[in-house]
Amino acid sequence: MSTSLSRRPVVDDPERWPDVVRPPRTSRLRTAVAERLVRRALVRLPLYVRFGTGDALGPGGPLLEVHDPDAFFRRIGAGGLIGFGESYQAGEWDAPDLVGVLTVLAQNAADLIPRPLQRLRGMWALRQPDALRNTPDGARANIRRHYDLSNELFALFLDETMTYSSAVFRGFPAEWPLLAAAQQRKIDRLLDLAAVREGTRLLEIGTGWGELAIRAAQRGARVTTLTLSAEQRALANERIRAAGLADRVSVELCDYREATGRYDAVVSVEMIEAVGEEFWPVYFKALDDRLVPGGRAVVQAITMPHERMVASRDTYTWIQKYIFPGGLLPSTEAIEEVTAAHTSLRVAQRDGFGAHYAETLRLWRERFTERADAVAALGFDAVFRRMWTFYLAYSEAGFRSGYLDVQQTLLTREGTL
């Protein structure tokens, strides 16, 4: 097996990553318990785990190389899965096939902690900070932390459509030259579901960088699209003007709760993940309130199993701390329950295509890796680059394992189809 694995990254700005640079303090007992639980879990999984101390465990499979076992177990003891991710950021462990390792862990997520101990989750799992609640002010801050990083950064690994959601391919394996067409295919499916055509008044909640608004306007729709990201709005407007559609599309820096007017269709692509469970009723009611009689709402959402959502919804996770603050994935059951309880909308059609998201993420991850030097030239240090590599691989593994899915859901009022 190869041993040419990367070691601790060079940290250009240690103050930016205090929890990565300095392993947290935790009791010897907590560290010992974490080590015992982790070793107990790993020995049963189809992995080969090799420690810097010379010992190894596991029946075989993708290699997980733990360079610094003391720091690795201390971090997990202090922060659970947050510590596991931070340990990767710090270069304390690595894997030649990172997606393979994370896929094995995702496939066994429900059983990594012994079931009797899962009842004590509240005693060891960190809870989401109140500061990350998606109030109107909180949502703006959370969105800016991710989407205002740099348009240039996203352009390095997205295709020319600048679409940051799952594509729909004609076949697998997907290839980079086909990604833009696959993204446009996904958008066209959404617009077809929403019955967008000449003269349609369309509201989009979550602009991205404007590709859906552009394609809707090219069909003859009049589009109002909302974003909380100033960076996205600037580039979306630039792209809309370049397409000659500025008279048909209005990009507003506006929260969905502040939207006004009535529309024939409302479309929202992978934005519900940033809403937070507390505000799901408000979000779906906003869709309902903005629709004219007979209107259609189409939501594309990343979903997770309902029982796992219920078990983990209050837990503070690595992805929330470093990538999507305030985020939470819904289940399909949760969407149905919330819409039934708080709106006149009902699920009329739902299509899942999680395997397509795994391929989309693979292409993004490979592109990000290929352009690591360009990412560094934008000022993003080694810890950031490892963090985003882990994020993209972690997400890909979720879809490859079947733990995650992505759904396009059509919502209508009963009897209007």
pLDDT score for 16:
80
Q: Which residues contact 374 (CB under 8 A, 6 or more apart)?
A: 156
Label residues 283-305 b or e (16+ Cβ within 10 Å = b).
Answer: bbbbbbebbeeebbbbbbbbbbb
What ranges do the domains of the chain cover?
14-126, 132-413
C-alpha 189/C-alpha 184 separation (Å) is 9
C-alpha 394/C-alpha 407 separation (Å) is 19
- For residues 148 and 231, the answer to whether their CB atoms sit within 8 Å is yes
pLDDT digits (tens, 9 = 90+) for 346-401: 999 999 999 999 999 999 999 999 999 999 999 999 999 999 999 999 999 999 99
Domain at 132-413, CATH from 3.40.50.2300, 3.30.70.2080, 3.40.50.150, 3.40.50.1470: 3.40.50.150
Q: Helix and strand tally (H, E) in the chain?
A: 19, 11
Quick one: which of 107, 64, 78, 67 has its CA closest to 19? 78
Model pTM?
0.93
Residue 310 phi/psi, 5-degree rounding, is: -65, -40
Residue 71's CB is within 10 A of a number of other CB atoms, namely 21
Exposure of 225 in the CB half-sphere (CA atoms within 13 A): 31
Residue 26 phi/psi, 5-degree rounding, is: -155, 160
Share of the chain above pLDDT 90, in %: 84
Residue 245's CB is within 10 A of a number of other CB atoms, namely 18
Per-residue pLDDT of the chain (417 residues; tens, 9 = 90+): 333 333 444 445 567 888 888 777 888 999 999 999 999 999 999 999 999 999 999 999 999 999 999 999 999 999 888 999 999 999 999 999 999 999 999 998 766 665 655 555 555 567 889 999 999 999 999 999 999 999 999 999 999 999 999 999 999 999 999 999 999 999 999 999 999 999 999 999 999 999 999 999 999 999 999 999 999 999 999 999 999 999 999 999 999 999 999 999 999 999 999 999 999 999 999 999 999 999 999 999 999 999 999 988 999 999 999 999 999 999 999 999 999 999 999 999 999 999 999 999 999 999 999 999 999 999 999 999 999 999 999 999 999 999 999 999 999 997 566
Tokens 């024939």 appear where? Answer: 264
